Amino acid sequence: MLDLIQTLKNQALHQISACHTNDELEEVRVRYFGKKGEITKLLKKLPIINKSERKIAGQNLNEIKDLLLKEIERKKADIEKEIYQNARFDPTVPGIEPQIGNTHLITCAIDEIYEVFAKLGFSRARYPEVEYDWFAFESLNMGKGHPARDEWETFFVDAPDDKKYGEIVLTPHTSSGQVREMLRRNSTPPIRMINIAKCYRRQISIRHLVMFHQFEGLFIDKGISITHLKGTLDYFAKNFFGEKRKTRLRPFHFRFTEPSFEVDISCGVCNGTGIDKENSKCKLCKSGWLELGGAGMVHPVVLKNGGIDPNKYTGFAFGWGVERTFMMKAGLNIPDIRILYSSDLNYLKQF
């Protein structure tokens, strides 16, 4: 055994010194120290050789193991030094451009939306995404089991109910911030809030996402009427979409506004005519109008829940999807809303 150890040592030293690359060196290492390597095999044999030889062989083997491993490390350093010295600097090679990140287009849209309303004196608010049933539904005039709740396909959180505020949900709309804002302002109008936040609904399709954003306006003061709502919406349409755009209100129903409306904006492709340049039906809107979202005059019950006297004060509210509003602005015919969150950089970089 002792002879064999000596032979292996000389052989290995020779092979190490003959290496020119890291790969070759690694091969040599595995040949001796890998699972089935020569030295490993001998180490495994130690317990079965006779006692008189075992002690000295063990010592020898360990010494040689240390020596060879050190030698491999030294050789590795030599090889690396050589690679470094041989590398020449070529000033004509094009540089590697660092990746520069930029803001996601929905974040840009949120900033832009807020800027428009900030000019009208609305201040930005954000309320919890994980919300009590009471703020998301009950305080908005949708009692337990009311069928109107079906509209908001809600995720319920598996957590103990609160005695006062009920079950916990992922808020399905930003209207949950209405009563919260009234309470935060100590129920003292004037209140001008723009709440832009994430919402969650159990829906997924080319037009719906489980997570999306809404922006919610709330304006409460003495003598607020539908004309203020219409004026605010028109101001937003002109500033966000362009001078020529108009809005229209269509009667609708929400439990938390009375009267309620759906808001449409004139189509930017056919200028609200419904007829395109080739004299056929506009492919984007088909009618001259595009649907933006809901709005209405705050229901007296909601004002009361926020501690505000509906005989003294009135207000309006509106709530629309950020993604949809953004897509309309850009005149983008995004075939699938999900692409906005697909992390497809080739797509997102276009904006």
Using CB under 6 A, list all residues that contact ligand PHE: 173, 175, 216, 254, 257, 293-296, 317-319
Between 226 and 269, name the residue whose CB sits nearer to ligand PHE.
226
CB of 293 to ligand PHE, least distance (A): 6
- Is the Cβ–Cβ distance between 133 and 169 less than 8 Å? yes
CB of 94 to ligand PHE, least distance (A): 51
Between 12 and 317, name the residue whose CB sits nearer to ligand PHE.
317
Phi and psi dihedrals of 54, rounded to 5? -60, -45
Buried (b) or exposed (e) across 247-273, using 16+ Cβ within 10 A? bbbeeeebbbbeebbbbbbbbbbbebe
CB of 298 to ligand PHE, least distance (A): 8
Quick one: DSSP state of residue 275?
Answer: B
Q: Which two tokens stand for residue 31?
A: 């040949």
Using alpha carbons, list the distances in angstroms from residue 302 to 180, 195, 298, 343: 11, 17, 7, 39
CB of 326 to ligand PHE, least distance (A): 17
Rounded Cα gap, residues 322 and 172, in angstroms: 14
CB of 201 to ligand PHE, least distance (A): 9
Rounded Cα gap, residues 48 and 234, in angstroms: 93
Rounded Cα gap, residues 124 and 338, in angstroms: 26
Q: Which residues pair with 315 in a beta bridge?
A: 220
- Residue indicated by tokens 């290995």: 12
Strand order in the sheet with 130-132: 130-132, 168-170, 155-156
Between 288 and 293, name the residue whose CB sits nearer to ligand PHE.
293
CB of 95 to ligand PHE, least distance (A): 49
CB of 250 to ligand PHE, least distance (A): 12
Between 215 and 241, name the residue whose CB sits nearer to ligand PHE.
215
Between 32 and 261, name the residue whose CB sits nearer to ligand PHE.
261
Between 200 and 254, name the residue whose CB sits nearer to ligand PHE.
254
Between 24 and 262, name the residue whose CB sits nearer to ligand PHE.
262
**Strand, coil or helix: 320:** strand
What count of Cα atoms within 13 Å lies in the side-chain half-sphere of residue 49? 15
- Is the Cβ–Cβ distance between 187 and 315 less than 8 Å? no
Rounded Cα gap, residues 177 and 184, in angstroms: 10
Rounded Cα gap, residues 1 and 7, in angstroms: 10
CB of 260 to ligand PHE, least distance (A): 6
Q: What radius of gyration do the chain's Cα atoms show?
A: 36
Between 67 and 130, name the residue whose CB sits nearer to ligand PHE.
130
